C-alpha cells in the first residue's frame, strides 16, 4: 500500500506542475466563459435596431405586428431583455416592383429584411426576406408576432375589448424542476446539463488518455526495469490510476468552482436565470464525482492496458480513437436522452458501463430516475470497472516488459494465463 501511495503521489506532483495542467485548468473555463458570455457581448455590440419593413395589403394586420416587434408584450423578462433584438419597423402596402426594390435594399444592407404578408384563399402566407435564412431566434419572434396579430385581429373583429385581447397573450410557461420532492428553481436544466456532461466527457477522456500516454512513456524510457525490481506491476498501475485520477478530480473541482463563480449574481447577473445558468446541488456534485471516478477508472484502466501493448505514443493514439468511441457515442446520444430521459433506450444506455458514466449522470441531472435504476447502473459500472481493471492488470504486467512488435490476439490470450 505504501508503494501505491508513493507512486500515486509522484504522479500527482509531477502532473500538477506541468504546463499542460495549467493550460487545461485555465483554458477550459475560458472557452466555457466565451460560450456563455460571447453571445451576450455580441448581442450588445450588434445592438443596433433592426430595420425591417412589413408589407401587407391590410394595415390593420401590419400595425399590431409592428407594435409587437417594437415593444414585446409578454415573455420571460429576464431572457428577452438581454437577448431579443430591437426593431424599427416601417409599413408598406404592396405595389408593383416593391419586392424588387426592397430586395435591392436588403442586398445593399440599407434594410435588414422585410416581411411579406399575403392573403390567399383565406390563408395567411408570411415570408421574411433577409441576408440570412438561418436566424431561428428571429423566426420565432416574427412567428409569434404574426400569430398574435392575426389572432387579435379576429378577436377584435369579434367584439372583444382590446385590453382583454392584450391580456390573452401574457401567458408564459416557466420551466421548473423538482428534485428530491423540492422545487429547486425555475431554470432550464438543458444548458447546465450539457455543460456538465461536456465537462465529464472531457475530463474522463483527457485523464484516461493521460494514463495511457504515461504508461507508454515509462515503457519507452525503460523506467519499468528499475521500478519493477521493487514494486509489482499492479502497484504501479494502481498508483498511476490513483495519482492521475486525483489530478482529474482536482481539475474538475476547480472547473466547477469557476463555473459557480461565473454564474454568481453580479458577474452574470443578467443571465443568472438564463439558459446557461450553472446549477449544481450538493447531490449533483456527488453524482458528478462518482460518475467521473467510475468513468475515469474504466477508461484509464483500458488506456493503461493499451499503453502497455504499444511502443510509441503514435501507436497509442490510433487505439485511443477506438477506446473513446463509446464516450463520443454517449455525447451524440445525449440530446435524445435529455429530451426523453425515461425512454427504454435512455434507460438501457444508462445501464451500459461504457456509456453509463455520462448518460446516467445526464439522466440524474435532468430528472430523478427511480432509485433502483441508479443502483443498478452503479452496480453495473462497478462490475465493469472491476472487469476492466482485472483484464488490464493482467495484460499490463506482461506488456510493460515486452518491446518490439505489437502482440496478436492469440498472444494476448496467452498473456492472460501467464503466472
Partner 1 sequence: MNLVELDRISKAYDTKIAVHELSLAIEAGKMFGLLGPNGAGKTSTIRMMIGMTLPDSGTVTLFGQPFTRKSLYRVGYLPEERGLYKKMKVLDQLVLLGQLHGLKATQAEDRARRWCERLEIAGSLDKKTEELSKGMQQKIQFIAAILHDPELLIMDEPFSGLDPVNAAMLQDVLVELKNKGKAVLFSTHRMDQVEKLCDSICLVHQGDAVLTGTVREIKSRYPKNRLRVRYEGDAAFLSHPSIAEARQSNGTAEIRLRDGADPQQVLAAAMAKARVTYFDVMEPTLEEIFIETVGGKANA
Region from 2-10, 59-67, 79-87, 128-136 binding partner 1, contact rule CB under 8 A: 2-10
* DSSP classification of residue 358: H
Q: Which of 95, 123, 157, 229 binds partner 1 (CB under 8 A)?
A: 229
Return the closest-CA partner of residue 400 out of 244, 228, 210, 207: 228
The binder of partner 1 chosen from 12, 116, 195, 224 (CB under 8 A):
224
C-alpha cell at 121: 384563399
Shortest CB 132 distance to partner 1, Å: 51
Give the interface segment with partner 1, choosing from 104-112, 205-213, 230-238, 382-390 (CB under 8 A): 230-238
Could you tell me which of 341, 167, 239 has the C-alpha nearest to residue 14?
Answer: 239
Cα(58)–Cα(154) distance, rounded to whole angstroms?
Answer: 13
Neighbours of 333 (CB within 10 A): 17
Cβ contact 299:323 at 8 Å: yes
Cross-strand bridge partners of residue 50? 87
Choice between 14 and 140, CB closer to partner 1? 14
Angle ∠(169,174,178) on CA atoms, nearest 5: 155
Residue 29 CA to residue 11 CA, distance in Å, equals: 24
Shortest Cβ 411–partner 1 spacing (Å)? 7
Task: Name the one range near partner 1 by CB under 8 A: 109-117, 227-235, 257-265, 371-379.
Answer: 227-235
| Nearest by Cα to 357 from 235, 210, 248 | 248
Cβ closest to partner 1, residue 17 vs residue 182: 17
Q: Could you tell me the smallest distance in angstroms from the CB atom of residue 222 to partner 1?
A: 3
Return the SS3 of 405: coil
Q: What residues contact residue 202 under an 8 Å CB cut-off, 6+ apart?
A: 28
Q: How far is CA 121 from the centre of its chain?
A: 46
Query: Helix or strand or coil: residue 55?
Result: strand
| Residues 33-52, mask of contacts with partner 1 (x by CB under 8 A) | --------------------
**Binds partner 1 by CB under 8 A, chosen from 6, 168, 246, 293:** 6
CB 385 within 8 A of CB 293: no
Stretch that binds partner 1, among 50-58, 159-167, 226-234, 340-348 (CB under 8 A): 226-234
Pick the piece of the chain touching partner 1 (CB under 8 A) from 193-201, 217-225, 285-293, 322-330: 217-225
Least Cβ distance, residue 234 to partner 1 (angstroms)? 11
Query: Of 262 and 398, which has the nearer Cβ to partner 1?
Result: 398
Alpha carbon distance 321, 39 (integer Å):
33
Q: Which of 138, 231, 323, 355 binds partner 1 (CB under 8 A)?
A: 231
Q: Which stretch binds partner 1 (CB under 8 A): 224-232, 300-308, 354-362, 369-377?
A: 224-232
Residues 141-180 vs partner 1: string with x where CB under 8 A? ----------------------------------------
Residue span binding partner 1 (CB under 8 A) among the ranges 29-37, 108-116, 218-226, 312-320: 218-226
Q: Which of 230, 314, 344, 408 binds partner 1 (CB under 8 A)?
A: 230
Q: Is 234 in the site for partner 1 (CB under 8 A)?
A: no
14 forms part of the interface with partner 1 (CB under 8 A): yes
**Beta strand pairing status for 87-92 and 50-55?**
parallel
If phi > 0 it is left, if psi is from -120 to 50 it is alpha, else beta; for residue 181 that is: left
CB under 8 Å to 212, separation ≥6 — which residues?
300, 303, 304, 306, 307, 316, 320
Is residue 221 close enough to count as binding partner 1 by CB under 8 A?
Answer: yes
Asked whether 350 and 356 are in contact (CB, 8 A), the reply is yes
Of residues 197-216, those binding partner 1 (CB under 8 A): none
Q: In what order do the strands lie in the sheet with 50-55?
A: 87-92, 50-55, 113-120, 123-130
> Under rule CB under 8 A, which residues in 376-415 are in contact with partner 1?
401, 411, 414
Q: Which residue, 5 or 169, is less far from partner 1 as judged by CB?
A: 5
Given candidates 1, 71, 226, 409, which one binds partner 1 under the rule CB under 8 A?
226
Using CB under 8 A as the criterion, which residues of the chain lie in contact with partner 1 when the complex forms?
2-3, 6, 10, 14, 218, 221-232, 401, 411, 414, 419
Amino acid at each position: 500500500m505504501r508503494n501505491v501511495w508513493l507512486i500515486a503521489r509522484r504522479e500527482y506532483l509531477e502532473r500538477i506542475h506541468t504546463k499542460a495542467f495549467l493550460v487545461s485548468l485555465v483554458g477550459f473555463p475560458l472557452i466555457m466563459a466565451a460560450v456563455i458570455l460571447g453571445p451576450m457581448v455580441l448581442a450588445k455590440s450588434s445592438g443596433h435596431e433592426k430595420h425591417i419593413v412589413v408589407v401587407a395589403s391590410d394595415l390593420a394586420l401590419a400595425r399590431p405586428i409592428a407594435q409587437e416587434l417594437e415593444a414585446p408584450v409578454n415573455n420571460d423578462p429576464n431572457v428577452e431583455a438581454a437577448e431579443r433584438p430591437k426593431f424599427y419597423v416601417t409599413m408598406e402596402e404592396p405595389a408593383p416592383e416593391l419586392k424588387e426594390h426592397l430586395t435591392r435594399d436588403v442586398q445593399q444592407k440599407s434594410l435588414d429584411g422585410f416581411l411579406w404578408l399575403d392573403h390567399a384563399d383565406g390563408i395567411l402566407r408570411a415570408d421574411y426576406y433577409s441576408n440570412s435564412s438561418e436566424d431561428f431566434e428571429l423566426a420565432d419572434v416574427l412567428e409569434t408576432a404574426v400569430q398574435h396579430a392575426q389572432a387579435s385581429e379576429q378577436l377584435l373583429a369579434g367584439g372583444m375589448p382590446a385590453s382583454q385581447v392584450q391580456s390573452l397573450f401574457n401567458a408564459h410557461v416557466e420551466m421548473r424542476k423538482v428534485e428530491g420532492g423540492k422545487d429547486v428553481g425555475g431554470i432550464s436544466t438543458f444548458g447546465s446539463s450539457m455543460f456538465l456532461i461536456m465537462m465529464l466527457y472531457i475530463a474522463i477522456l483527457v485523464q484516461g488518455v493521460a494514463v495511457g500516454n504515461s504508461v507508454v512513456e515509462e515503457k519507452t524510457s525503460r523506467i519499468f526495469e528499475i521500478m519493477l525490481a521493487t514494486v509489482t506491476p499492479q502497484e504501479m498501475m494502481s498508483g498511476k490510476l490513483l495519482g492521475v485520477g486525483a489530478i482529474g478530480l482536482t481539475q474538475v473541482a476547480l472547473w466547477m468552482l469557476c463555473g459557480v463563480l461565473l454564474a454568481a449574481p453580479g458577474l452574470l447577473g443578467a443571465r443568472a436565470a438564463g439558459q446557461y445558468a450553472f446549477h449544481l446541488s450538493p447531490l449533483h456534485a456527488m453524482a458528478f464525482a462518482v460518475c467521473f471516478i467510475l468513468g475515469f477508472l474504466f477508461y484509464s484502466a483500458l488506456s493503461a492496458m493499451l499503453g502497455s501493448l504499444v511502443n510509441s505514443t503514435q501507436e497509442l493514439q490510433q487505439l485511443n480513437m477506438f477506446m473513446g468511441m463509446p464516450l463520443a457515442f454517449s455525447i451524440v446520444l445525449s440530446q435524445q436522452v435529455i429530451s426523453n430521459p425515461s425512454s427504454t433506450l435512455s434507460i438501457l444506455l444508462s445501464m451500459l458501463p461504457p456509456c453509463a458514466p455520462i448518460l446516467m449522470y445526464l439522466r440524474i441531472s435532468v430528472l430523478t430516475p427511480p432509485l433502483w435504476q441508479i443502483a443498478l447502473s452503479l452496480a453495473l459500472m462497478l462490475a465493469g470497472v472491476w472487469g476492466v481493471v482485472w483484464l488490464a492488470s493482467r495484460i499490463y504486467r506482461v506488456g510493460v516488459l515486452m518491446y518490439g512488435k505489437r502482440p496478436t490476439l492469440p498472444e494476448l490470450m496467452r498473456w492472460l494465463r501467464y503466472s
